[in-house]
Amino acid sequence: MANHSQLVGGSSADRLLNCPGSYQLITALPPQPDSTSSFAEEGTFGHAVMDLIARKRRKVPGVRMADEAADLLGGTVYDREVTQKHLDELIYPAIEAMEALEGIHGGGFKVVAVEAKVRFPGVPAFGTVDLILRSDSYILLADYKFGVGVVTAVYADESGERMNPQLMFYLAAAQHTLPRLFTNKRKLGVAIIQPRAEPQLTYAEVQSEEVLWFIQDVERAVEAALSRDPPLNRGDHCKWCPAKTICPKWVGPIKELALIGKTPMQRTEMVSKEVTPFAEYLARTKNLTEDLAAFAKEIDAQLKAYLEDGGHVPGYVLQPKKKLRQWIDEDTVAECLSKLGFAYDEIWQNKLRTFAETDKTAKKKHLKIPDALRVTPATDETVVVRAEEAAFPPIERPLAIEQFAASAAKLSRKG
What are the φ and ψ backbone dihedral angles of 107, each rounded to 5 degrees? Answer: 70, -170
Is the pLDDT score of 404 beyond 60? no
Is the pLDDT score of 150 beyond 70? yes
Higher model confidence: residue 261 or residue 68? 68
Higher model confidence: residue 305 or residue 59? 59
Omega prior to 199 cis, within 30 of 0: yes
Residue 1 has a pLDDT of 42
Is the pLDDT score of 2 beyond 50? no
Is the pLDDT score of 241 beyond 60? yes
Helix, strand, coil shares of the chain, percent, nearest 5, are 45, 15, 40
How confident is the prediction for the chain on average, in pLDDT?
Answer: 85
pLDDT (tens digit per residue) in 195-238: 988 899 999 999 999 999 999 999 999 999 999 999 999 888 88
Q: Measured at the alpha carbon of residue 274, what is the angle toward residues 273 and 275, in degrees to the nearest 5?
A: 125
Q: What is the mean pLDDT of residues 355-371?
A: 83
Higher model confidence: residue 333 or residue 30? 333
Is the pLDDT score of 157 beyond 70? no
The Cα-based distances of 16 to 22, 63, 67, 169, 193 in angstroms read 7, 41, 42, 12, 24
pLDDT (tens digit per residue) in 84-115: 999 999 999 999 999 999 999 999 999 999 99
Q: Which of the following CATH numbers is that of domain 13-225: 3.40.50, 1.10.10, 3.30.450, 3.90.320?
A: 3.90.320
Domain boundaries along the sequence of the chain: 13-225, 243-308
Lowest mean pLDDT among 93-102, 116-125, 164-173: 116-125
